[in-house]
Amino acid sequence: MAIIGIDLGTTNSAIAYLKGEKPEIIPNIEGGRTTPSVFQMSPNNEMVIGQNAKSSMPGFPDRTITEVKRLMGSDETVMVAGQEYRPETVSAHILKYLKESAEEYLGEAITEAVITVPAYFSDSQRKATQKAGEIAGLKVERIINEPTAAAIAYGLENMDKNQHILVYDLGGGTFDVSVVEIFEGVVEVKASAGDNSLGGVDFDNTLADWIIQNFKQQEGIDLLDFGSAVEINQRRAKIKLEAENIKKNLSSQTNVNINIPFIAVYDNAPISVNLNITRDEFEDLIRKMAMKTLTEVDKALEDSNLNIDEINEVLLVGGSTRIPLIQKLVEEKFGKKAKKDINPDEAVALGAAVQAGIKSGQIDTTKGIMVIDVCPYTLGTEVVKNIGGQIVPGFFDPIIPRNSTIPVSEKKIYYTADDNQTSVDINVFQGDSQYADQNIFLSNVMLEGIPSAPMGQEPIEVKFSYDINGTLQVEATIVSTGKRASSVVKTKAGTMSEQEVKLAKSQVEKDYQQSELYKEVKSVITRGERMLKSAEGLEKEKLASLLQNIKFALEKNDRELVRKYEEELTDLLIELV
């Protein structure tokens, strides 16, 4: 049974598998090599995922969710057609669609996947991704970093080379950079850095704002300041979709006309957007964000102890690297042409498929490729410090430094902070600030039974272990007695409980069944609605009543009742023909 590789992206997702010893992209059910990460529940309660959902988003903004990856690992929820969803559940719908696409293409059941995440995803974001896979019916034991996956795809084709490469991964919603050494079939990540809130959608939003502001200057009309809330949302969605197309066109053209016909009715007259933007103007809009990526590049180079001259190749990954300004900035920084021989939209999924092959044993690591990754962030605990004779709490002490090769275990000795202290609460944080509250709180481990003694007399050993799947285990030991407490860190904030996962599975299954049920009767409803336009009198009343009844039965997900009304509607349509 195949294990597939999935690039679950902010704006687009892709799936791949290992065919022989080479990774190949699996097209989705519609034949696309990538799938827009868009989830929609249509007015007929039909679940729509991918390009069709994206294309119809301006008409149904309140029924469509995009960019949900940015909410992963948080407790935020989204509303779709009046129904509340957690980010994991929306992602699960997208994963389920990708899973079914793979099953149809390969002709076998798929139960396991390797899923990629941004290198700088936090512990809670990684766990949320695993939960989404579980809800979708996939076992996700291996989570790998997106730039690492891209490096694997590149490394597979360049196993005979010994070189340092820099993977510059600018996707739809996140930016990652990794410095990687390739030698004798080994792909070793030396350092990673990134920004989880910087990507192509930020360029789209900036351009959409520019369109709105320039239209206001030109026509004196604020497109977001009149009409109902639904109309304003529809307008904004239409402008944003157009902004994405303009951004793409400006990669091959130096001047683009912005034409959005009949965007609204204002003072009883239809209005249209007709503007012009040059590539230079667009580059000025995004330059500050683009420059931020180079700051992360410098950070990764510094952590890898390499300088620019020691980087042999720069690999561009992610759709946003097609923007000429991005290519220019990267190539000017490194003084060389960046490599573009791997499709930037597909490289991450292909690398995930190779990792899946390593996991399944399809690829023998003793003869083929081996991957060595890093923990991209610093992990540590909260401590007190003696400042001017006073004990001051709230400081952060690193235990595993960022960019440590994984798996890794590190330990430190601490001492009791109070006289006769019999217990200690070890708070676990992720981040680089010297102050604990400015870092991300992950969890805590309680150790009790410390012998009573004066302050600073009882040593406590704290050990952190971080494995290849990003799982952190914390162990605390009272040195004098050997008593220990340990726990696998289960991030408290933004992570679903087992009960929530169970409920989400039921929700996904219900949505799926409801959608499938609608598809089964869609043709008879369409025929009925078409005939309703020309029907008259009693016939029209009977037809309208049956259409209302079948839609009500669909909302209730009552298969038996749907079948009853479908038969009655079919019989009536035969009579009316």
- Domain harbouring 311, CATH code: 3.30.420.40
Whole-structure pTM value: 0.84
Residue 567, C-beta contacts closer than 8 angstroms, at least 6 positions apart: none
User: Would you state the pLDDT for residue 492?
Assistant: 56
In a domain, 524, yes or no: yes
In a domain, 533, yes or no: yes
Given 349, 374, 399, the domain boundary residue is 374
In a domain, 407, yes or no: yes
User: Would you state the pLDDT for residue 60?
Assistant: 92
Q: Is 146 a catalytic residue?
A: yes
User: Would you state the pLDDT for residue 131?
Assistant: 93
User: Would you state the pLDDT for residue 498?
Assistant: 76
Are 397 and 432 contained in the same domain?
A: yes
Domain count, the chain: 4
- The amino acid at residue 233 is N
Tell me the Ramachandran region of residue 358: left when phi exceeds 0, alpha when psi lies from -120 to 50, beta otherwise.
Answer: alpha
User: Would you state the pLDDT for residue 178?
Assistant: 95
Are 249 and 310 contained in the same domain?
A: no
Active-site hit among 7, 123, 458, 511 = 7
Given 441, 458, 488, the domain boundary residue is 488
CB atoms within 10 A of CB 219: 14
User: Would you state the pLDDT for residue 491?
Assistant: 59
In a domain, 235, yes or no: yes
Domain span at residue 87 reads 4-199+288-374
Q: Is 500 a catalytic residue?
A: no
Are 62 and 179 contained in the same domain?
A: yes
In a domain, 251, yes or no: yes
In a domain, 494, yes or no: no
> H-type helices in 50-199, by residue range?
51-55, 87-106, 123-135, 146-157
171 and 146 Cβ atoms separated by less than 8 Å: yes
In a domain, 465, yes or no: yes
- Residue 505 in 3-state DSSP? helix
Active-site hit among 46, 88, 134, 146 = 146
Are 103 and 169 contained in the same domain?
A: yes
Which residue ranges in the chain fall short of pLDDT 70?
1, 365-367, 490-495, 512-515, 555-557, 577
Given 285, 304, 338, the domain boundary residue is 285
CB atoms within 10 A of CB 22: 12
User: Would you state the pLDDT for residue 136?
Assistant: 93
Active-site hit among 69, 127, 333, 551 = 69
User: Would you state the pLDDT for residue 573?
Assistant: 82
Are 91 and 102 contained in the same domain?
A: yes
Q: Is 169 a catalytic residue?
A: yes
Active-site hit among 169, 195, 242, 382 = 169
Are 18 and 121 contained in the same domain?
A: yes
Q: Is 555 a catalytic residue?
A: no
